[in-house]
A and B are shown apart, each in its own frame.
Chain A
Amino acid sequence: MPKIKLWIFLIFVNLSFAQQSDFSHIDFSKADNIAKTVKSKRLYELHKLTYSLTKNLNTDIEKFRAIYIWICNNIANDFGLYSLNEKKRKRFLKDSVKLKKWNSKFKKKLFKKLLKKKRTICTGYAYLLKEMSAIVGIKSKMINGIGRTSSVDLSGLAMPNHTWNAVKLNDKWYLCDPTWATGISFPEEGTFKFMYNEGYFLTEPKLFFLNHFPLEKKYTLLDEKTTSFKGFTEAPLLYGDAYTVLKRHIFPEKMHHNLNKNDTFSFKYQLIKKTIPNKVKLVIDSGTLERTIQPKVDIQNEYLTVQHTFKTKGFFDVHLYIEKKLIATYTFNIEN
C-alpha cells in the first residue's frame, strides 16, 4: 500500500512540475553512492551488473540514475575509434553500400571494445544505457541527430554525428546525453578525461535543443514550430558548462547580430542557482585583441540580464563567463 501511495503522489507531482524539477524531491545520493561502489572490469554479464546497481533502489528514476551515473563514471570516450570512424564515414559518404559495410564492421569492433575495455563513442554509450535500462524494465530510446559543439562545422555537416537518449519515466519522456556527461576530449592530444557534467541528466528540452537536433523531430520534446533546422544552426553556441549553470537560455535566440556603433545589447538567462554580479564577465575578441569586461548586470531571483554597449566598429566574438565557466559565444558585426 505505501508503494501505491507513493506512486500516486509521484504522478501528481509530475503533472504539476516543470521538466527538470520533476524529480527535485528525490535525493539521488543513494543511487549515486551505489554507482560509485559497484565495479565491473568487463561487461560480459550486463544483467548481473545492472542488478547489483538497482536491487536496493525502489523507484525507476533512482534505478535509471544509478545506471546512468555508473556509465558516466566507468565508460571512457575512445578517441582512436572516433577518428577512425570519422575518416571512413567521410570517405564513404557517397557510397551507401561501402558505408553500410563499414558501419557493420565498425559496430562489431565498437561493441567488442565496449564490453572488454569499457571504451566507446557516443552510440555505444546510448546502446549501453538503453540495454541496461531495459534489463530493469525502463523504456528508453537512442536518438540520432546532430550534436553541436564549438568544433562542429554545421555548414559542412551532411549527416548526423551524435547519439543520445530519451527515457520514459512515470509515463513521461526525458532527455539525457551520457557521452557528453562523461567528460571532456582533447582532440589535439588525442586524450580523454573523466569529468562528470550533471547538466546533461534530464535536461530542460529547450536548453537541450540548442546543442541537440534529433533526426526524429518529436524527440526534441518541444512544439515542432519552434524547432526548425535553420533555427538550430543559427542559435547561440553553448558549451558544456552552460548546462551546469543555466536552466534556460532566454535571449538572444541567434548567435550572430548586426548592430550599429553605440547600440546596447541585452542577454537574458534563467539560472539554476543565483549568482553575484561580479562573477559575470564578457570576453570580447576582435580577432587580434581580447579584453575581459565587467558588463552591466541585473539579477532578479534566478533571472540574469547582461547588457553591453558596443563602442567601436568591427567584428567581435563575445564569450559569456559565469563563475569562471565558459557558457556561450555570440558574434557581433558592428558598423558605423
Chain B
Amino acid sequence: MKTLKKVSIRKSTLIFLSFLFALVCTTNLKAQEIQVKGIVKGQTFEKIEILKGANIFLKGTKIGTSSNKKGEFNFPQKLNVGDVLEISYLGFLKKRVTIKKSSSFIKITLQEDDNQMLGALNSGKRHKTKRQKE
C-alpha cells in the first residue's frame, strides 16, 4: 500500500509538472507569435493624413522601424502580449501602444502637438543705431 501511494503521488506530481511545462511552452509560443503590422496617421488641425517616416520602437530597446510612404510598417521582430510600442513623428505627440493578442494589425493616429513653429535668423550683421536726422 505504502509503495503504491508513493508511486501515485509521484505520478500526479509528474503529470502536474508536465502540464505546467506544456502550459509554459504553449503560452511562450503563443506570445512569440504576434507579427505586428500597422499604419501610422496624423491628426492635424484640419484633417487626418498618412505619415511617412514615423518612428516605431519597442519601448526600452533599440529595435524599431519607420513607416513607408503609405504610412505602413512591418515590425522587424515578433512581439509578446504586453510589449509596448512607441510611435513618434516630428511635430506630433508620442503614442504608446500595448500589444494584445489581436494586435497583428494596428492603426495609430498621432495627435499634433501645439508647439509653435519659429525661426530667428542669425545674420551676424553689425548693429547700427538709427539716428534721427538733424
Give chain A interface residues in 73-112, CB to chain B under 8 Å: 77, 79, 81-82, 85-86, 100-101, 103-108, 110-111
Interface residues of B in 18-66 (CB under 8 A from A): 44-46, 49, 52-53, 55, 57, 62, 64-66
Q: When the two chains form their complex, are residues B118 and A149 in contact, meaning their CB atoms are under 8 A apart?
A: no
Of all chain B residues, which has the CB nearest A285? B128
Q: What 0/1 readout, one digit per residue, does chain A (34-64) give for beta carbons within 8 Å of chain B?
A: 0000000001111110010000000000000
Q: Are A142 and B115 in contact (CB under 8 A)?
A: yes
Which residues on A sit within 8 Å (CB–CB) of B123? 149-151, 184-187
Distance between Cα atoms of A95 and B117 in the complex (Å): 16
Is B121 an interface residue when CB atoms closer than 8 A count as contact?
yes
Q: Determine whether the beta carbon of B117 is less than 8 Å from that of A44.
A: no
Residues of chain A in range 121-177 having any CB-CB distance to chain B below 8 Å: 121-124, 127-128, 131, 134-136, 142, 144, 147, 149-152, 159-163
> Which of chain A's residues have a CB closer than 8 A to the CB of B102?
none
Q: Which residues of A contact B131 (CB under 8 A)?
A: 287, 315
Nearest chain B residue, comparing its CB with the CB of A183: B122
CB-based nearest A residue for B128 = A317
Beta-carbon contacts of B94-134 to A below 8 Å, as 1s and 0s?
Answer: 00000000000000000010011111111111111101000
Q: Which of A235-282 contact B (CB under 8 A)?
A: 237, 239-241
Is there contact, CB below 8 Å, between A128 and B90? yes
Number of chain A interface residues as a range:
35 or more
Q: Complex formed: what's the CA distance from A317 to B55 in Å? A: 50
CB-based contact B117/A123 at 8 Å: yes
Q: Which residues of B contact A142 (CB under 8 A)?
A: 115
Contact check, A47 vs B66: say whether CB atoms are below 8 A apart: yes
CB distance A85 to B117 under 8 Å? yes
Are A45 and B66 in contact, with the CB atoms below 8 A? yes
Number of interface residues of B (CB under 8 A): 33
Q: What chain A residues lie within 8 Å of B53 (beta carbons)? A: 43-46, 115
Q: Which residues of A contact B121 (CB under 8 A)?
A: 77, 79, 82, 149, 151, 185, 187
Taking a contact as CB atoms under 8 Å apart, the answer to whether A105 and B45 are in contact is: yes
Q: Which residues of A contact B62 (CB under 8 A)?
A: 47, 51, 135-136
Complex interface: chain A residues within 8 A of B115 (CB): 123, 142, 144
Residues of A within 8 Å of B126, CB to CB, are: 150, 239, 319, 326, 329
Instruction: Knowing A44-B66, A46-B55, A115-B53, say if A160 contacts B46 (CB, 8 Å).
Output: no
> Which residues on A sit within 8 Å (CB–CB) of B80?
none
- Enumerate chain B residues within 8 angstroms of A131, measured Cβ to Cβ: 55, 88, 90
Known contacts A44-B53, A184-B124; is-contact A107 B119 (Cβ 8 Å): no
Q: Which of B62, B66, B118, B126 has the most CB of A within 10 A?
A: B118
Task: Judge if A114 is at the interface, Cβ distance under 8 Å.
Answer: yes
A122 to B112, CA, bound (A): 18
Contacts of A68 on B, CB cut-off 8 Å? none
The answer to whether A209 has its CB under 8 Å from any CB of chain B is no
Q: Give the residue name and chain of the A residue nearest to B51 (CB).
A: A111
Contact at B52–A44, with CB atoms within 8 Å? Answer: yes
Q: State the Cβ distance, A201 to closest chain B Cβ, in Å.
A: 15
Task: Tell me if A331 is interfacial: C-beta within 8 Å of chain B.
Answer: yes
Taking a contact as CB atoms under 8 Å apart, the answer to whether B65 and A241 are in contact is: no
Closest to B49 in A: A108
**Chain B CB within 8 A of A232 CB:** no
- Contact across chains for A121 and B55 when beta carbons are under 8 A apart: no
Asked if B119 and A162 sit within 8 Å, CB to CB, the answer is yes
Residues of A whose CB lies within 8 Å of any CB of B are 43-48, 51, 77, 79, 81-82, 85-86, 100-101, 103-108, 110-111, 114-115, 121-124, 127-128, 131, 134-136, 142, 144, 147, 149-152, 159-163, 179-180, 184-187, 237, 239-241, 285, 287, 315, 317, 319, 326, 329, 331
Report, nearest first, the 10 A-B pairs whose CB atoms are least far apart: A121-B119, A104-B45, A44-B53, A162-B120, A147-B120, A185-B121, A329-B127, A122-B119, A161-B120, A150-B127
**What are 18 A-B contacts with C-beta separation under 8 Å?**
A44-B53, A45-B66, A47-B64, A47-B66, A103-B116, A103-B117, A114-B90, A122-B120, A124-B117, A135-B62, A144-B116, A149-B122, A150-B127, A161-B119, A179-B122, A315-B129, A317-B128, A317-B129
Q: A48-B66, A149-B122, A240-B122 are in contact. List 15 more A-B contacts (CB 8 A).
A: A47-B55, A101-B45, A101-B46, A108-B44, A110-B91, A115-B53, A115-B90, A127-B90, A135-B55, A150-B124, A161-B120, A186-B123, A240-B124, A315-B129, A317-B127
